[in-house]
Amino acid sequence: MKKITLFFVFLFAIVTVSAQETPKPNYRQAAKYSPKNLAKMVHSTSVSPHWLKKGNRFWYAYKTSEGSNHYIVDVDKKTKKPLFDNVKMAKWLTEITKDPYDAKHLPRFNFKFNEAENAIRFRVTSTEEVEVIDEDKKEEKKDSTSTKKARKKKPKMEKKTYHLEYKLGSNGLTIIDTKKPEKKPWQRWANIAPDSSIVLYGKNHNIYWMDKVNFKKFIKDEKDTTVVENQWTTDGEENYGYTWGGRGQDNEDVEKNKDKRKGVWGTWSHDSKKFVFEKSDSRHIKDLWVINSTGKKRPTLETYKYHMPGEQEYYKSQLMIFDIPTKTHITVPLDSTRQQSLNVFRAPRKQSQRDDEFTPSLLLSKKGKLYFSVISRDRKKYDINVADLNTGEYKTLIEERFNTYIESRPLVLFNNETEMLHWAERDGWAHFYLYDADGNLKNQITEGDYHVDGFAGLDEKSRTLFFTANGVNKEQDPYYLHTYKINLNGSGMRTLDPGNFTKRTSMSDSNQYFVSNYSRVNTVPKSEVRDSNGRKVMDLETADLSQLFASGYKFPEPFKVKADDGITDIYGVMYKPFDMDTTKVYPLLEYVYPGPQTEAVNKSFSYRMDRLDRMAQVGFVVITLGNRGGHPDRSKWYHNYGYGNLRDYGLADKKYVAQQLANRHDYIDIEKVGIYGHSGGGFMSTAAMLVYPDFFKAAVSSAGNHDNNVYNSWWSETHHGVKEEIDEKGKVSHKYKIDDNQSLAKNLKGHLMLIHGDMDNNVHPAGTIRMANELIKAKKRFKFMIMPGQRHGFGRMTEYSFWLRADHFSKYLLGEENTDADFMYMNMDEPKNR
């Protein structure tokens, strides 16, 4: 009798589960949260401080449902005041421009503080049209034939621009002028020395220069034939020159622009007497192409250099030091036979330089030294070097060696250049190390099983380091970022911004205060100011999410589960339909991006929900989660787990996490699991369908690097690995082998959609085309969409790709197919006024 009862209970359970309904696709709900509609509901969510040069002061703009406000904060005085009164500003602008304004609808300002930092200057364009003044024609004689002809023509008109100044605390605006802002096309190519004495630029692959006098003449009149231009180098040629520019242009435009001035970008010495340039030889690197089929009358070819993994050729780099007074140059004597990459260490820019128009790139050292790093092609050997700017002779200060790839952060030089801070992962965790100027290790500063993210500031007087780190507090999500201070001898470490949130900070140049923006995915973002001891000085803002919540929005849910090894903690976020009915069962979608340089898991609140919250509204439970081999903000072991297995390393975790969540939640239908992603996520989502074909039932893979043999060498040789081999004669070669998706095409059982932009010059369309080719040869049904004229990010077709994805999962997981020609909910957002 007992057995019969149990049988009927089991049978009842089966009937109950089978009777549970799958929701119908809710396109109206998804359309409600389009990027356009979200922009009307959510405005500012963080404070972005513009630190001033005098005192511990900053200004910021913050927008709510009541409009935009601008504030100036004096942290020393603990005051926060409106930069101006919105009502008065609207009145003054209306009186001057004759265009109506009110306090909630002011123009978007682009402020510049004056040198005294007691007034702001900005421009406002009115609707009034005025005649364009041609400065060249002013010089023509009034009775000239050309002038008489010109009078007969209709004058060219433009909208009047007001250049205005507001002195803080005053009762009005001052009109500086009504000239249209000066066009500065020279900013695209002019590299101006820190003391403005000389300008470097390029023409026909070589370096040219102008002195200050001639550059001023050029700015005044580009057609001035008395401007003297000087050629410095003569050895530049295509793909082995000194100029930058041309990527993204088709061959017709490259030919048209070949004689134009171009940028010569390098790094200046602080005294403007030296200029350091990295010259790269890519003549031997093979070409790659995309075709622009939609831009011009005839389809045009775009040619660019592209190095693929495993190719024996490699970029050959030189470090050149140009002497400005003598117009000579020398080359740092590096081993040109080694396949390696170079990086020049630069002086950090101050927070108070954010709004400066002129911020030349400066060398790290002020004392005639050039600090630079060299990393081997296999990224297992990393050296920090210092060279003499006058001779080019150099020595190695610090060496790092590892069996997987080495990552780095900028070198910090301090104490009159007698000490250095070096970031490394040599003990399996990222930490700072203190060195003297000769490369001798003094001590390890930070230590423990946590990840130091980066440098935040340094108080040399008290010998205190400020830095950001993950995973210090073991009670929190290890991805939550916080700011810390520690003495350079490794003592006295303390948290400056505690709390169970992730925090992003901006520290003042004085290192006395920092602005902290903090939230989780399930909290309202807030902003505050703290001092260097971690004491809260003042609150700044709480984001206005009132309209978002009024629309029916609900926060997503963070979760913690185990990886497929049953030991490693995996952190993720679950997004649900806001009108979820827990009596129904919902298909599960995984949004993936494998990195390994990052993971596609939000830790702070974000209203950019196109790939997550919005997808859930169609009628799915959507999850994002980490995987072993993912984000570097955990241990070196975790981050490098996928080294040597870049196709399959994260898939077991993706599958096992889905199963754990289905065990926890009855509303998840584990028989209907879909997966989608872009770029690396496009690669991973297709791989999941082919490696676990009976588990993942549908996928949408966009811009995927399905065949990493034709993706750029940096990414896959770094994260997957390339083997350096030396034969008995000392010849170096590089061996590379990686699994691709198309080799598993025969495994496809579910429903796959491939999407790619035909002008993607990052992940070339060839990878997706090869995948499609093998699927066809394997006689598989799948969907294939080319986005015409689109690069890697799909640009103006991003919204279209969202609805393609919604249609695909709606058909194969919710059982309802849309067959109308029109995307109705895209059309609803567009006014029919043409």
What digits encode the pLDDT tens for the residues 704-732?
Answer: 999 999 999 999 999 999 999 988 888 88
Strand order across the 328-331 sheet = 267-268, 274-281, 316-323, 328-331
Q: What integer pLDDT is reported at residue 16 of this predicted model?
A: 45
Strands 668-678 and 586-591: parallel
Per-residue model confidence as pLDDT tens digits over 752-790: 999 999 999 999 999 999 999 999 999 999 999 999 999
Mean pLDDT of all residues in 804-819: 96
Residue 766: what are its φ and ψ, rounded to 5°? -55, -35
Give the pLDDT band (50/70/90) at residue 141: very low
Name residue 574's beta-bridge partners.
557, 623
User: CA-CA distance, 595 to 720, in Å (whole number)?
Assistant: 12
Residue identified by tokens 């496009």 is 682
Give the pLDDT band (50/70/90) at residue 13: very low
User: CA-CA distance, 493 to 497, in Å (whole number)?
Assistant: 13
pLDDT at 460 over 70: yes
Q: What integer pLDDT is reported at residue 684 of this predicted model?
A: 97
Q: What integer pLDDT is reported at residue 146 of this predicted model?
A: 52
- Could you please state the CATH topology (level 3) that the domain comprising 190-281+311-408 is classified under: Methanol Dehydrogenase; Chain A (2.140.10)
Name the average pLDDT for the chain.
93
User: CA-CA distance, 122 to 404, in Å (whole number)?
Assistant: 51
pLDDT at 481 over 80: yes
Name residue 676's beta-bridge partners.
591, 700
Neighbours of 13 (CB within 10 A): 10
Report, in angstroms and rounded to the nearest whole number, the Rg of the chain calculated over CA atoms: 30
Mean pLDDT of all residues in 657-670: 97
Each domain of the chain, given as residue ranges in start order, spans 20-40+548-706+741-827, 50-134+156-183, 190-281+311-408, 411-538
Q: Which of 488, 487, 485 is nearest to 535 (CA)?
A: 485
| Helix axis angle, 680-691 to 651-664, nearest 10° | 70
The tokens for 31 are 């359309």
Q: Which of 2-11, 115-124, 608-617 shows the lowest per-residue confidence on average (mean pLDDT)?
A: 2-11
Mean pLDDT of all residues in 83-89: 97
CA dihedral 654, 656, 660, 665 (to 10 degrees): 50
Neighbours of 622 (CB within 10 A): 27
Per-residue model confidence as pLDDT tens digits over 282-333: 999 999 999 999 988 899 999 999 999 999 999 999 999 999 999 999 999 9
The tokens for 347 are 């002086």
Considering the segment(s) 411-538 as one domain, its CATH architecture is: 6 Propeller (2.120)
Residue 217: what are its φ and ψ, rounded to 5°? -65, -40
Per-residue model confidence as pLDDT tens digits over 666-699: 999 999 999 999 999 999 999 999 999 999 999 9
Instruction: Specify the length of the chain in residues.
Output: 834
Helix, coil or strand: residue 193: coil
The whole-model pTM stands at 0.93
Strand order across the 526-531 sheet = 502-507, 513-519, 526-531, 536-542
User: CA-CA distance, 590 to 661, in Å (whole number)?
Assistant: 12
The tokens for 624 are 């994002």
H helical segments located in 487-551: 546-550
Give the pLDDT band (50/70/90) at residue 19: low
Check residues 730 and 3 and name the one with the higher pLDDT: 730
Q: What integer pLDDT is reported at residue 822 of this predicted model?
A: 87
20-40+548-706+741-827: CATH homologous superfamily?
Alpha/Beta hydrolase fold, catalytic domain (3.40.50.1820)
Q: What integer pLDDT is reported at residue 426 of this predicted model?
A: 97
Mean pLDDT of all residues in 472-494: 97
Contacts for 683 with CB less than 8 Å, ≥ 6 apart:
594, 647, 677, 701, 704, 705, 706, 708, 741, 767
pLDDT at 271 over 70: yes
Q: What integer pLDDT is reported at residue 8 of this predicted model?
A: 44
Helix, coil or strand: residue 426: coil
Equal fold, 190-281+311-408 vs 411-538: no
Mean pLDDT of all residues in 431-449: 98
